[in-house]
């Protein structure tokens, strides 16, 4: 990649990283330009790494001048890096206005996964997640989402290039639908990152209507944060369950699979001692998923300050895995990565200028 061109930050300018191919086509069409301009621009930005409009030689001079005047290409910057003993890297990424999000880079033998954030904070209040304790500020733009991938590749260079993306950082991606979908499109777009749809995964707490909408526009892999086999327990752990209970969630999963390249949903299940980790829970889970093609990913709970939850013991987690696995659901225990730098699942906090006053409310209730 050639050097980043720092375009003067001018709030009025349109950041072209906000558009996927369709968006760029519409943008150019409005200017009376042909749709192929979109592909040319995408190639310059993502394949050539050429962000200086003056250097885009196959674009006419008047159009270049117009773009220079009205548009910019700007990705957010990594302002802090922590490297864990296992090679996992956590990056703090500046989003302006006192807001910072975190992204996590997880290298493995034959792949490198980037865990990307979709919002500054999170509006949901899952009780076992530390992002939730930060409250919520705003949605990230498409440029800020795809910018995390650009920044990651830039930082690690060719050899460490990201091969897999999971939308499992801060935020609920399906509550930022309109910005997340174009970013996912750019990840899988041949002329941009060209990642296989099997290697790009969106993770949701179960925003059912958005799951149906997603299925109509995009067929990337889906992970669902399940965490409990009954409404009674899930209502507490993942409160959005009160709005979209398990029956509706399972129906949405089944529908999504019809169109998914993977043909199954990955369910995430955090192991919480004495809460959702009994043998009866495991059996109830198997029953719940009996006609949803699934894989199960058990996540040992990662603690954070001021939480009363505890992680189930290894023995209990393995027993749970065996029951689900023997019932015919491929079940893995997620290897915790980057624990020593608080980069593990649910530990991402960034810096959120909370607008939801969550901390205030929790303090009033004596919960912090
Ligand atoms: N909001 C989306 C994306 C976040 S993904 C979602 O809920 O799916 C982050 C994953 O880590 C989710 O499965 C989440 O439930 C899980 N998680 C959150 N806090 C955790 C913790 N403390 N320990 C382990 N996993 C956690």
CATH classification of 78-364, choosing from 3.40.50.1360, 3.20.20.70, 3.40.50.2000, 3.40.50.1950?
Answer: 3.20.20.70
For the domain covering 5-72, report its CATH number: 1.10.150.530
Q: What is the mean pLDDT of residues 144-173?
A: 96
Residue 5: pLDDT band (50, 70, 90) is very low
Using most ligand atoms within 8 A of CB, pick from 225, 298, 305 the residue to mutate for ligand 1.
Answer: 225
Confidence band, pLDDT 50/70/90 cuts, at residue 6: very low
226 pLDDT band (50/70/90 cuts)?
A: very high
Tell me what the mean pLDDT of segment 300-327 comes to. Answer: 96
Local confidence band at 342 (pLDDT 50, 70, 90 cut-offs): confident
CB-defined site of ligand 1, < 6 Å: 126, 128-129, 168, 172, 203-205, 225, 268, 270, 299, 301-302, 345-346
Compute the mean pLDDT over every residue in the chain, rounded to the nearest whole number: 92
Provide the CB-side half-sphere exposure for 22 (13 A, CA): 6
Question: Which is the catalytic residue, given 115, 129, 218, 345?
Answer: 345
Q: Does the active-site annotation cover 102?
A: yes
Residue 295 alpha carbon to ligand 1 centre in Å = 16
Q: Where in the chain is the domain with CATH 3.20.20.70?
A: 78-364
Mutate to test the pocket of ligand 1, among 113, 168, 224 (most ligand atoms within 8 A of CB): 168
Confidence grade of residue 363 (pLDDT, cut at 50, 70, 90): low
pLDDT at position 10 is 45
Q: Residue 336 has what pLDDT?
A: 81
CA of 216 to the centre of ligand 1 (A): 25
Instruction: Tell how far the Cα of 128 is from the centroid of ligand 1, in angstroms.
Output: 8
**Location of structure tokens 């699934």:** 294
pLDDT single digits (tens) 27-85 = 999 999 999 999 999 999 999 999 999 999 999 999 999 999 999 999 999 999 999 99
Task: Assess contact for 333 and 300: CB atoms under 8 A.
Answer: yes
Cα distance between residue 287 and residue 281, in whole Å:
10
Whole-model pTM?
0.93
pLDDT of 354:
81
The pLDDT tens digits for 120-135 are: 999 999 999 989 988 9
So what's the pLDDT on residue 87? Answer: 92
Q: Whose CA is nearest to atom 15 of ligand 1?
A: 225
CA-nearest of 196, 190, 117 to 163 is 196
How far is the centre of ligand 1, averaged over its atoms, from the C-alpha of 168 (Å)? 7
Provide the pLDDT for residue 365.
Answer: 52
Model pLDDT for residues 189-205, shown as the tens digit of each residue = 999 999 999 999 999 99
Per-residue pLDDT tens digits for 207-224: 999 999 999 998 899 999
Please give the angle made by the CA atoms of 354, 360 and 361, to the nearest 5 degrees: 110
Query: Best of 211, 270, 349 to mutate for ligand 1, by most ligand atoms within 8 A of CB?
Result: 270
Q: Which of 33, 102, 172, 268 is catalytic?
A: 102
Predicted confidence (pLDDT) at residue 142 exceeds the cutoff of 70: yes
* Residue 310 scores a pLDDT above 70: yes
Q: What's the maximum distance between 2 C-alpha atoms anywhere in the chain?
A: 69
Which residue's CA lies nearest to atom 1 of ligand 1?
172
Is 281 a residue whose pLDDT tops 90?
yes
Taking 50 as the threshold, does the pLDDT of residue 4 lie above it?
no
Task: Give start-end residues of each CATH 1.10.150.530 domain in the chain.
Answer: 5-72
Q: Is 69 a catalytic residue?
A: no
- For position 168, what pLDDT does the model report? 96
């Amino acid at each position: 990649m050639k050097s980043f061109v720092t375009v003067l930050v001018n709030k009025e300018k349109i950041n072209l990283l906000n558009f996927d191919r369709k968006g760029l086509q519409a943008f150019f069409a409005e200017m009376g330009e042909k749709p192929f301009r979109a592909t040319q621009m995408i190639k310059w930005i993502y394949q050539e790494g050429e962000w200086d409009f003056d250097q885009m030689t196959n674009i006419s001079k008047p159009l270049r001048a117009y773009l220079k005047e009205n548009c910019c290409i700007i990705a957010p910057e990594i302002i802090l890096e922590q490297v864990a003993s296992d090679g996992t890297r956590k990056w703090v990424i500046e989003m302006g206005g006192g807001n910072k999000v975190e992204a996590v880079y997880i290298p493995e033998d034959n792949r490198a996964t980037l865990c990307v954030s979709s919002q500054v904070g999170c509006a949901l209040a899952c009780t076992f997640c530390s992002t939730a304790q930060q409250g919520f500020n705003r949605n990230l733009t498409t440029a800020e989402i795809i910018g995390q991938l650009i920044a990651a590749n830039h930082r690690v260079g060719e050899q460490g290039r990201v091969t897999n993306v999971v939308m499992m950082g801060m935020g609920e991606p399906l509550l930022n639908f309109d910005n997340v979908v174009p970013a996912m499109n750019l990840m899988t777009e041949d002329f941009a990152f060209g990642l296989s749809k099997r290697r790009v995964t969106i993770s949701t707490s179960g925003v059912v209507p958005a799951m149906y909408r997603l299925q109509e526009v995009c067929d990337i892999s889906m992970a669902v944060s399940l965490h409990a086999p009954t409404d009674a327990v899930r209502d507490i752990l993942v409160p959005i369950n009160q709005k979209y209970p398990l029956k509706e969630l399972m129906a949405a999963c089944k529908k999504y699979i019809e169109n998914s390249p993977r043909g199954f949903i990955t369910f995430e299940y955090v192991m919480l001692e004495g809460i959702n980790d009994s043998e009866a829970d495991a059996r109830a889970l198997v029953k719940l998923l009996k006609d949803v093609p699934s894989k199960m990913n058990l996540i040992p709970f990662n603690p954070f300050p001021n939480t009363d939850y505890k992680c189930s013991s290894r023995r209990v987690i393995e027993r749970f895995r065996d029951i689900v696995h023997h019932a015919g659901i491929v079940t893995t225990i997620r290897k915790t990565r980057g624990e020593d730098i608080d980069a593990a699942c649910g530990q991402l906090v960034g810096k959120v200028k909370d607008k939801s006053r969550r901390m205030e409310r929790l303090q009033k209730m004596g919960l912090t």
